[in-house]
Chain A
């Protein structure tokens, strides 16, 4: 597996071949994305790599040159999954649960499926609000 920087470096090293392996428009696009890949901005590098690979996929000869430079048969990118750095946004609460003995005195929201909520007064498991008739 190779990383984004290696790929972009390999593409840069094949610049002399672009005239014969790519069309003028693609060569221009490739140069544009390589310029956008600033060394200290991982997101810019990642985005540029994606676009560069997209262009190369349509031009097998150019892709072969990059593979040769990288010394690999297939270009596999090693990208580790990372969760977003922020916290969880608010998610609407689950089903409204009520006491089956008296639906009006105890009402709680289900946080997760599989959870069992109890009525502290009657000691019974709460049931979905729609499944109990209101007390007369």
Chain B
């Protein structure tokens, strides 16, 4: 019976969900066990002896179920923590650190001004006169600067925060659409395939944030093993790099969703479509105001499909 239980457990753990959700928690507790064994010296021997002394199958089942419950509960805690941690890493800090946030953001402004100057120097050279290195540098700076909000007031103190903030700012700057207001509506208006792609990208970002949480938590095992701190740091740094990449991809997809499907949002709200790109931000701001405040619709007439053509 016990073997069957383990077989089924192993089969369950092999699932995608289990691998993603329980994997980091499993590594955390496994690492804790390793640290304890390392600390006690003969801990592994003692543990296996004790387990061998248990002769009742029900005790094994209870142990396995208990272990699984601890794993699931700690995994749930890790999942709850992922969003607050993500926001902290973005730079949304609570009250005592708010000043620090804006002070660091101002330092980012200075760094960006320097990069902007470099870009302006390169752009002043005619494209056909630029050398290969200059061309590559021009493209690199362009890509790098595009990962920061254009409005200095929107800058965040961290790189992760700026990548995500730049993507959130984009619909407002380009189309007058406020992301926080329009995103839930747009989400319902975009095709399933696009939603799936966006969800996968978001899951990847969340997964990296979860890994970061577990990486930091791993440091608690320093009570038993000194190497838990460097191990925790390595995981946290790797997870942060993973978050930067995932945030870049997610941000690009959010931008693309607005580029491609924003008119679906107008159509679903029965809002008249903007006539030309130059005036689109005015229409977008009106629509955002209408959706959030209910005002801004004084000179607007609904555009129902049946009334067209």
Q: A and B from one assembly? A: yes
Do the beta carbons of A81 and B200 come within 8 Å of each other? Answer: yes
Task: Give the docked Cα–Cα distance between A109 and B119 (Å).
Answer: 9
Query: Given A93-B123, A111-B119, A115-B150 in contact, is the A83-B249 Cβ separation under 8 Å?
Result: yes
Q: At the interface, yes or no: A131 with Cβ under 8 Å from chain B?
A: no
A61 sits at the interface (CB 8 A): no
Answer whether residue A71 sits at the interface, using C-beta atoms and an 8 A cutoff.
no
Question: Complex Cα distance A26/B119, Å?
Answer: 55
Q: Mark B146-176, 1 if CB is under 8 A from A, else 0.
A: 1000110000000000000000010001100
User: A136 at interface (Cβ–Cβ under 8 A)?
Assistant: no
Q: Nearest residue in A to B197 (C-beta to C-beta)?
A: A81
Mark contacts of B203-222 with chain A using CB atoms, 8 A cut-off: 1 yes-contact digit, 0 otherwise.
01000000000000000000
A90 near B249: Cβ-Cβ < 8 Å: no
In the bound assembly, the distance between CA atoms of A109 and B151 in angstroms comes to 16
Question: Which residue in A82, A90, A113, A114 is a CB contact (below 8 Å) of B142?
Answer: A90
With contacts A109-B123, A113-B173 taken as known, whether A87 is within 8 angstroms of B143 at the C-beta atoms is yes
Please tell me which one of the listed residues A81, A108, A111 contacts residue B253 in the complex, with CB atoms under 8 A apart.
A81
Q: Which A residues lie within 8 Å of B140 (CB)?
A: 87-88
Q: Judge whether B200 and A87 touch: CB under 8 Å.
A: no
Asked if B191 is an interface residue, CB under 8 A from chain A, the answer is no
Q: Chain B: interface residue count, which band?
A: 20 to 34
Interface residues in A, total, Cβ within 8 A: 20
Of A78, A93, A112, A115, the most chain B CB neighbours within 10 A belong to A112
B248 at the interface (CB under 8 A from A): yes
Interface presence of B120 (CB below 8 A): yes
Bound complex: CA A112 to CA B166 (Å): 11
* Cα–Cα distance between A90 and B173 once the two chains are bound (Å): 22
Kindly report which residue of chain A lies nearest to residue B116, judged by CB atoms: A111
In the complex the two chains form, is A112's CB within 8 Å of B146's CB?
A: yes
Q: Tell me the dominant secondary structure on chain A's binding face.
A: loop
Give the total number of A-B pairs whose CB atoms are below 8 A apart: 56
Is A114 touching B151 in the complex (CB atoms < 8 A)? yes
Shortest Cβ gap from B196 to chain A (Å):
8
Question: Of B127, B139, B145, B201, which one neighbours A87 at CB under 8 angstroms?
Answer: B139
Contact assessment for A81 and B249 in the assembled complex, using a CB-CB cutoff below 8 Å: yes
Q: Check A112/B173 contact, CB under 8 A, given A87-B139, A90-B127, A90-B138.
A: yes
Closest to B174 in A: A113
B79 within 8 A of A: no
- B20 at the binding interface (Cβ < 8 Å): no
- Does A89 count as interface, using CB distance less than 8 angstroms? yes
Q: Are the C-beta atoms of B173 and A109 separated by less than 8 Å?
A: no
Q: With CB as the reference atom, state the residue of chain B lying closest to A83.
A: B249
Decide: A114 near B253, CB < 8 A? Known: A87-B139, A90-B127, A90-B138: no
Determine if A90 and B248 form an interchain contact, defined as CB atoms under 8 angstroms apart. no
Selected from A81, A88, A112, the residue in CB contact (under 8 A) with B150 is A112
Is A133 interfacial (CB 8 A cutoff)?
A: no
Q: Which of A82-98 contact B (CB under 8 A)?
A: 82-83, 87-93
B135 at the interface (CB under 8 A from A): yes
Report 9 cross-chain contacts, Cβ distance below 8 Å, ordered by A residue. Answer: A80-B204, A81-B201, A87-B139, A90-B138, A90-B142, A91-B142, A107-B124, A108-B120, A114-B169
Which 9 residue pairs spanning A and B have beta carbons closest together? A114-B173, A88-B143, A114-B150, A115-B150, A93-B123, A109-B123, A90-B139, A112-B150, A81-B197
Chain B residues at the A interface, C-beta cutoff of 8 Å? 116, 119-120, 123-124, 127, 135-136, 138-140, 142-143, 145-146, 150-151, 169, 173-174, 197, 200-201, 204, 248-249, 252-253
Residues of A within 8 A of B (CB): 78, 80-83, 87-93, 107-109, 111-115
